[in-house]
Structure 1
Amino acid sequence: MDNLAEQFNQRGATALPGHLGMVVTHVGKDEVRAELEVRPHTMAPNGFLHAGSVVTLADTCSGYGCVTNLPAQANGFTTIELKSNHLGTAREGTIECVARPVHLGRTTQVWDAVVSHRDTGKTIALFRCTQMVLYPPA
């Protein structure tokens, strides 16, 4: 785990990523990686991995990537759109996410993420989000 990943783990420890047990393993300008152990609190009542757990993992990776790539004058961002295609699920093990930038603009960023099962390599979800870059009032 790199130092920047540890900083983001500390930042999210008391928020939803920490509550779910997400662990960020790498943060770079071109890629963010994190993992989530499949546990009872990440499941839906039907016994399968909750789609919200998957989306939270992907959105968090993309958001941390956005923060890492903010223009110098920007002071934050907000997700303005997201889409996920769920192709599989899990009942045990660990899921992993890899997020990469598609567009790093002055006013928006677009990130793609792939969530997969660590042991099987099976793709769980494909995810894309758009973030609006925020600036302080003039």
Structure 2
Amino acid sequence: MTIWKQSLDLHQANAMMVNTIGDTLGIVITEIGADYVVGTMPVDKRTHQPMGILHGGASVVLAESLGSFAANIACDKDMACVGLDINANHIRSVRSGLVTGVARPVHVGRRTQVWEIRIADDADKTVCVSRLTMAVIEAP
């Protein structure tokens, strides 16, 4: 059984990324499961820090992009979700390839939502673990 209150296919989900930071960094939503969202981001010059490894801030952008998308399709159509807090633990460095994030709910309430996002490298080794808290507000 799905937790989603709004239905979007992958084409619609990725169209929402156009002209955003997600578009700039090459983030692509690749799967919408019954209670999770998966997306990828390349590790390249767009997402590197000066030492040639994945920038921690880019990992946070991936985490917030996936968690925010998930939160917004998990709330009623007359409501919207906006970021309240995010933290990230950077576990391992990555120099190239693709990282994959999976956003899963910890709490989906009427006024707040909490999402955990695990980001892994091509070998499925954890790169970053993030927790995102969203405020549920009336849609503008």
Report the CA distance between 1:27 and its aligned residue. Answer: 2.3
For residue 122 of structure 1, the aligned residue among 121, 125, 128 is 125
* Normalised TM-score (structure 1): 0.90
Number of the residue aligned with 2:48 = 43
* Normalised TM-score (structure 2): 0.89
Contact 1:71/1:106, CA 8 A, preserved across alignment: no
Report the CA distance between 1:135 and its aligned residue. Answer: 1.2
- What are the residue-to-residue correspondences of 1:61-80 with 2, within 5 Å? 61-74=66-79, 76-80=80-84
Report the CA distance between 1:136 and its aligned residue. Answer: 5.2
Q: 3-state DSSP class of the match of 1:132?
A: strand
Greater CA deviation, 28-37 or 14-23?
28-37
Q: 3-state DSSP class of the match of 2:61?
A: helix
Deviations 1:89-118 (A, max 9, x none): 110111000000111100000000100002
Count of matched residue pairs: 133
Q: Which has the higher helix share?
A: 1
Cα distance in structure 2, aligned partners of 1:128 and 1:18:
22
RMSD: 1.5
Contact 1:8/1:24, CA 8 A, preserved across alignment: yes
* Runs of 4+ in structure 1 over 6 Å off: none
